[in-house]
Each structure stands twice: as C-alpha cells, then as structure tokens.
Amino acid sequence: MALDIRVCQFFKLVTAPSASAPTGVTHRYQNYFANEAKLFRDELYDFAPFRGEGSMASLNGENEVMRILFPNVEFAVQLLSQANGNRLSVLTLTTQWLTADNAFTGVALPEYCIGIGASLSETTIELRFRSSIDSVTSNFPGRTLTRELVGPLPLDSQLYLQ
C-alpha cells in the first residue's frame, strides 16, 4: 500500500515600504494547485513553482537562514525588484498537509520571516530569510525590573543596568 504525502505551502510576502508603495506590495503564491488560484484563510493565492529549503529553528536556537527558490521567470524577477532585493520584506510561510482528495487537514501554523537578501542566477532566484522571532536561551534572566531590584525607576528612557 502506497502512502501519499501531499503538502502545499502558502507564501505571502509583503515588501518593505518604499516611495512608490508606502505600505509595501503583497505577493501571494501557493506551490501545489498548478494553474489554479486557491482560497486560503480568506485570501487568494496564485500558483507559482517555488520550494523552501533550510530550517527556521534548531535545538541550539540559532537563527538559521531559510531559502525560497523560484525559477528565473518574469514574475519572480518583478517580485525581486519590487522587494528591493528582498531586504526587510516580511514573509508568512504556511505549510498545509492535504488529504488524498486535496482537502486541508489539521492546523497549519505559519512561520514569520524577515528578508535578508537575494541572489539571481540564469535559472534560479533565491530569496533568503531569517526568523522574525529570536530564540531565548536557558541563561536568560528570569527577573522583572522592580523598585526593590533597581531602586527608584526613572520617568524617562534613561535606565542603566549594572
């Protein structure tokens, strides 16, 4: 008996604000339903052939690089130029499992990323991202600033920790 694994990724990229687009430009793509726009969480996602590589987290909490690869075609080049080389764009990448009937299953949790750059070759456009949430290590202080710990707190932003 063969087991089908069906996965669709939903890519929502909002470019950094610019003079021509003060609120940024939003791009929505999905990579499973070929030649079809798909409604997901009340937003329409067009088809685009892309794939994600890398991870967003590790056991040690490094903020690793994730790459989204597109073929070097006109719409992907426009996406890259509108996103100012993918600097400070905001990506929401949601992975959704599908049934054999292509229906959504389970809860899909989005990952939020910040664009850190891109590269372009003859065949591929690579968008690079890091997680927008940094990890907290076990030695992070578990204290809250209180008057008992630091004395009288200033009323302006001049707070010094020693």
Each residue's pLDDT tens digit, 30-69: 999 999 999 999 999 999 999 988 766 666 666 678 899 9
Report how far residue 67's alpha carbon sits from residue 39's, in angstroms, rounded to the nearest whole number: 24
Amino acid in the structure at residue 157: S
Report how far residue 15's alpha carbon sits from residue 24's, in angstroms, rounded to the nearest whole number: 5
Each residue's pLDDT tens digit, 64-118: 788 999 999 888 888 888 888 888 899 999 999 988 888 888 878 888 999 999 9
Q: Which domains does the chain have, with CATH numbers?
A: 6-133 (2.40.10)
| Helix and strand counts by DSSP (H, E) for the chain | 2, 10
Ranges of H-type helices in 38-137 = 74-82
> What count of Cα atoms within 13 Å lies in the side-chain half-sphere of residue 129?
29
Q: Which two tokens stand for residue 34?
A: 């070929």
Amino acid in the structure at residue 32: Y
